[in-house]
Structure 1
């Protein structure tokens, strides 16, 4: 038999621990979505660099990179290219590096209050000429 003064103790303890548990859950969700966005950016950069190395077309390579960005909106991914030795023309014995940039929007908005806008980048490098 319980003492009368212990009734509701479990509810009070749960109410005290619930905010901590929710904070951990939100952190797990936000981190996993940010990690997925980073993987998508890296894949998009590799695809853009591969397309540029083979076809030597900056506009088409940028479109290919944006389309390869997975769950990220293609219009929100920007891609820039740089070729070793300068210029934007991919020729033999050079490497092209694609850099993709994306402004991360969080699901809960919780991180935005502390960090502001989170800009993520991905890079991919390929040998020119395929």
Structure 2
């Protein structure tokens, strides 16, 4: 009985550092997976914010006929969703609804350059684009 316990103890002593080595091999993969999930969630949040900003800008231009105000509304709506847009990221066509034929649509396109975070995403940038189309108001 004592001999069997000694043999088991000797066998376990040889594997003492195995769990540390296994963890060292798996930890980078787990960290990459964690950062990947967080970056993907942030990208979806940005897409939702940019989409809402485009919709609000299109609605504002269709009602007020003021392209400056529409751009400002887009930037503010995105900021409310923690997305920092520049007014240069917002493209609006046509720039006014007045003088346009009946049934003219306003198209707002917003392009946001997203840089994922994490230790493995250096140099990886994605363009998140959202478009909104709404008919000009009367």
Task: Using structure 1 for the length normalisation, give the TM-score.
Answer: 0.83
Query: Aligned match of 2:117 in 101, 107, 111?
Result: 107
- In 1, Cα distance between equivalents of 2:126 and 2:87: 13
Query: Aligned match of 2:132 in 103, 124, 128?
Result: 124
- Structure 1 segments of 4+ aligned residues over 4 angstroms from their partners: none
**1:68: which partner in 2?**
77
**1:89: which partner in 2?**
96
Q: Deviation string for 1:43-75 (max 9, x for gaps)?
A: 100000000111111000000011001201243
Deviation at 1:89, TM superposition (A): 2.4
Q: Output aligned runs, 1:4-83, within 5 Å.
A: 4-69=13-78, 70-75=81-86, 78-83=89-94
CA RMSD of aligned residues (A): 2.0
Q: Deviation string for 1:26-45 (max 9, x for gaps)?
A: 11111111111111111100
Consecutive unaligned residues in structure 1, runs of 5 or more: none
Instruction: Return the index of the structure with the highest Cα Rg.
Output: 2
Task: Using structure 2 for the length normalisation, give the TM-score.
Answer: 0.79
- In 1, Cα distance between equivalents of 2:120 and 2:131: 27
Consecutive unaligned residues in structure 2, runs of 5 or more: 1-7
